[in-house]
Chains A and B, each alone.
Chain A
Amino acid sequence: MTREVRALLHILLGAAVLHISLFSELYLRYVREGLRPYLIASGVLLVAVGLVGAVSAARKLLRPGHDGPDAHDGPKGHDGHGHDHHGAPRTAWLLLLPVLAIYLLQPRALGAFTAQHSDNTAVRPAEAAGGFAPLPTTDPVSMRLADFDSRALWDSSGSLKGHRIRLTGFATPGSGDGTWDLARLTISCCAADASSSKVVIRGADAPPEGAWVEVTGEWQPDGASGQDGAVPTLTANQIRRIAEPENPYE
């Protein structure tokens, strides 16, 4: 890998990182919101390293007589242990893959496939936390799916009773015949650690798989409470199709 190619690789990768973090909100599909400053900083650093490398490569080209020992790649294994200090390992070419992925594929956020193939994760609050806080008095109450699941399964005082609940998520095929779940994924760091929250929706026809909807309805206590991995149920009064939110994760 010549120094020109190395410089270009840095610039391309830096530009790709800046493309998803500084010039758009695409990074929210892959990592959590708090990592944006770090992404921007590394993008800027990569572009800067690449630009400086390109300038010094250009200078070397203009003064061909002054090629230093590191102006070109040495032969493989010249220092006796197969490790080229001045060039780069062949694996460095793989760094083009993320660049191509970002510009050509623009991978979408995790969605219905992931939710369908993973268990429902409802956080069981610690005993010491002193139970659940009372719900706000607005009608309907907008909640995160994760909070709804956790209250539905673990709140013995039944605080969800008598409230109209509004949940936002995407449609996912359910475990039973003809049923569908409303699902939302939560990430704590990046998409690799996504966990899913699901709610079985009753009383409404299934929207197309992956479609984003806002569901308003009432909790259906069905005896599934107190079980890990159970999926609570909501009887829907109203369903509204919405656009995918800027941040697809909760």
Chain B
Amino acid sequence: MWRRRPNAAAGRGSCGPGISHGPTGWAAFRASLEHDFLHAGGSLVIGGMTAATLNVAVPRDLLKGLAGLPGVDVLALAVLAVLLAVCSEADAFVAAGLTSFSTTAKLAFMVVGPMVDAKLIALQAGTFGRAFAWRFSATTFVVAVTAATLTGWWLL
């Protein structure tokens, strides 16, 4: 995908504080710590605020209405996983609470969650640029949903 459209691929290649002329040793360690923290931190705040807002704003009743529709329920929970940005340590508990959904939909929730979510997209956009983030997230989302659907159809 990136080979076909190389102009966007370059993104922002050489991150890191002044490799050619920068400090060395502990000073370099401290400088890159600061650099990484400031670059990731701001994006993380954006992602966190987005996820928190959506967590309150997304009406759960609307979701329940989608639970009975095969196919749509998988997509609904996959999108919910992106919006809520629940960490992978906890998403199984959240999925267990979504009782009205099919097992395949819950699987999609748990597969998509750690791969694509609001805070990851914000982080990627901040680090690699927006063009990269959209293309990468969209691809990962499609792959994750397909994998979950196929596994669910085959095994569950």
The interface of chain A, by Cβ under 8 A from chain B, is 1, 6, 9-10, 13, 45-46, 49, 52-53, 56, 69-70, 81, 83, 85-86, 88-95, 97-98, 117-119, 121, 123, 186-190, 192-193, 195, 228-229
- Tell me which residues across on chain A come within 8 A of B94, comparing CB atoms: 193, 195
Chain A nearest CB: distance from B97 CB in Å?
4
CB contact between A188 and one of B85, B90, B126 (< 8 Å): that residue: B90
Please, how many angstroms separate the alpha-carbon atoms of A91 and B34 in the complex? 14
State whether the Cβ of B99 lies closer than 8 Å to any Cβ in chain A. yes
Size of chain B's interface in residues, with CB distance under 8 A?
Answer: 41
Tell me whether B37 is interfacial, beta carbon within 8 Å: yes
What per-residue 1/0 map shows which CB atoms of B73-93 lie under 8 Å from chain A? 000000000001111011101
Q: Are A98 and B99 in contact (CB under 8 A)?
A: no
Distance of A6 from chain B, by nearest CB (Å): 6
Write out the residue numbers on chain A whose beta carbons fall within 8 Å of the beta carbon of B100: 228-229
A70–B37 Cα distance when bound, in Å, is 17
Bound-complex Cα distance A187 to B90 (A): 8
B interface secondary structure, majority: helix
B4-37 at interface with A (beta carbon < 8 Å) = 10, 12, 15-18, 21-22, 27, 30-31, 33-35, 37
Per the bound structure, the CA–CA distance linking A88 and B31 in Å amounts to 11
Known: A94-B46, A95-B41. A52 touches B17 (CB 8 A): no
Task: Indicate which residue in A49, A81, A97, A119 contacts B45 across the interface (CB closer than 8 Å).
Answer: A97
The residue from B31, B42, B60 contacting A119, defined by CB atoms under 8 A apart = B60
Q: Does B107 lie at the interface of the complex (its beta carbon under 8 Å from any beta carbon of A)?
A: no
With known contacts A53-B30, A91-B46, A229-B99, A70–B93 Cβ distance under 8 A: no
The answer to whether B97 and A49 have CB atoms under 8 Å apart is no
Q: How far is the CA of A117 from the CA of B64 in the complex (A)?
A: 13
Task: A233 to B48: give the CA distance in the assembly, Å.
Answer: 36
State whether B87 touches A83 (Cβ < 8 A): no
Contact call B96/A121, Cβ cutoff below 8 A:
yes
- Provide a sorted-by-A list of 30 A–B residue pairs whose CB atoms are within 8 angstroms: A1-B38, A6-B38, A10-B34, A13-B41, A53-B30, A70-B17, A83-B15, A85-B17, A88-B38, A89-B38, A91-B126, A92-B42, A93-B42, A94-B41, A95-B38, A117-B60, A119-B60, A119-B97, A121-B96, A121-B97, A186-B93, A188-B89, A188-B90, A189-B86, A190-B87, A192-B86, A193-B90, A193-B91, A193-B94, A228-B99
Contact A10 B37 (CB under 8 A): yes
Pick from B16, B30, B33, B45: contact of A98, CB under 8 Å: B45
A92 near B91: Cβ-Cβ < 8 Å? no
* Minimum Cβ distance to chain A for residue B23 (Å): 8
The residues of B that contact A49 with a CB separation of less than 8 Å are 30, 33-34, 37
> B120 an interface residue at 8 Å Cβ cutoff?
no
Asked if B39 is an interface residue, CB under 8 A from chain A, the answer is: yes
Residue of A nearest to B93 (CB): A188
The residues of B that contact A188 with a CB separation of less than 8 Å are 89-90, 93
Q: Is the CB of B96 within 8 A of A95?
A: no
The yes or no answer to B103 lying at the interface (CB within 8 A) is: no
Give complex CA distance A91, B97 in Å: 35
B143 interface residue (CB < 8 Å to A):
no
A184: min CB distance to chain B, Å: 14
Alpha-carbon distance A13/B31, docked complex (angstroms): 17
B51 touches A53 (CB 8 A): no
User: Which of A53, A90, A98, A117 touches B34 (beta carbons < 8 Å)?
Assistant: A53
